[in-house]
Structure 1
Amino acid sequence: MELHVRYEGDDDPEKCTARKLARFDLAALHRTGRETPAGVVLNPHAERALSPADDTDMLVALDCSWETAGRAMFEIDGEHRALPFLVAANPVNYGQPFQLNTVEAFAGALAILGRWERAEELLSKFTWGHTFLELNEEPLRRYADCEDSSEVVAVQQAYLDAGED
């Protein structure tokens, strides 16, 4: 599966997971929306959740600071899908729900799409990478067993409801 990143370059280059993926030839970086190919775009503002029904050959992520990640930043061609509830394992946002960095977003999407080994491959480049799959193993496997977006949302809601107790 091809991985493409619309790269803004507005975060710390030392902590940028997209740049590291590109260095290992695991993802392609694109500086403009026009040069970014259309695929399934991982967009936290999307109205539909990513599900196994979105099986695709290409994932696209936006790499930018969370401070600038507004809706307008995600004007990228393709089918936009939101990742369901997942918890960040990266050192910057550890334990924060929905605050994933680029490699975590790709890994979560790959796991939901049934490509667990590819998710592990990406995360293996980061000392904390295995922690992402450990923290999120149960929900990722449950999301991967869903038929469609509505089932993913129902599973997500169960996690959110459990957190309110």
Structure 2
Amino acid sequence: MNIYIYHAKQCDPKRCTALKMGRLGYAKILTNPKRLPRNAILLNPYAEKTVSFEDRDIIEKNGVMALDCSWKQAEQVFKKTNSKTQRSLPFLVAGNPVNYGKPCKLTTLEATIATLYIADYKEESYKLLNGFKWAHTFIELNKKLLDYYCGKTSEEIIEFQKELLKDVK
């Protein structure tokens, strides 16, 4: 499973899940966004289509890309990558110590775990838990949602998410 992470060196390296994923051999860390592979799934919270089971073949052949940079820089990086397959993640709750319980405040690790799980690469997603003391919490907090999203199309996930969040303002 190829996992690529663009790292902009804008965070505390001691707490950075992306850098630790690189050290553990789970991901290839890149510092030039133009070197990110064009055909991999790029996780983009602004993408209209969400990660789904439909993305399995792309993930298997080309991998997953995540960005580890400030949100102020993110939109510029999305444009620089030339990625043709950008996907958002559906509603999930953070399990990391910094943003525990906050909706959609996921670490790079959590986003990658969610992507693999939703695309039905559950075994690979569980392997990413090794080396992170708190990572199992993310799966525990989101187990029902992840299980629901797994095997669904992007349209089905988006419709479910709209229903789930319709009363939230």
Confirm or deny a common fold (TM above 0.5). yes
Matches within 5 A, 1:5-154: 5-38=5-38, 39-55=40-56, 56-57=59-60, 58-66=63-71, 68=72, 70-75=74-79, 76-78=81-83, 79-146=85-152, 148-154=153-159
**Aligned 8 A contact 1:40 1:81 in 2:** yes
**Aligned 8 A contact 1:49 1:83 in 2:** yes
Segments of structure 2 that go 5 or more residues without pairing to the other structure are: none
Residue identity (%): 38
The alignment's C-alpha RMSD in Å is 1.6
Segments of structure 1 that go 5 or more residues without pairing to the other structure are: none
**Aligned 8 A contact 1:61 1:102 in 2:** yes
| TM-superposed deviation, 1:35 | 1.2
**Aligned 8 A contact 2:119 2:151 in 1:** no
Deviates more, 1:151-160 or 1:88-97: 151-160
Give the TM-score normalised by structure 1.
Answer: 0.92
Give the TM-score normalised by structure 2.
Answer: 0.90
Cα distance change, pair 113–32 in 1 and its aligned pair in 2 (3 A): same
**Aligned 8 A contact 1:104 1:123 in 2:** no
For 1:14 and 1:106, how far apart are their aligned partners in 2?
A: 19
For 1:149 and 1:69, how far apart are their aligned partners in 2?
A: 26
For 1:72 and 1:65, how far apart are their aligned partners in 2?
A: 11
AA in 2 matched with 1:54: D
AA in 1 matched with 2:159: A
| Length, aligned pairs only | 162
Runs of 4+ in 1 over 3 A off after TM superposition: none
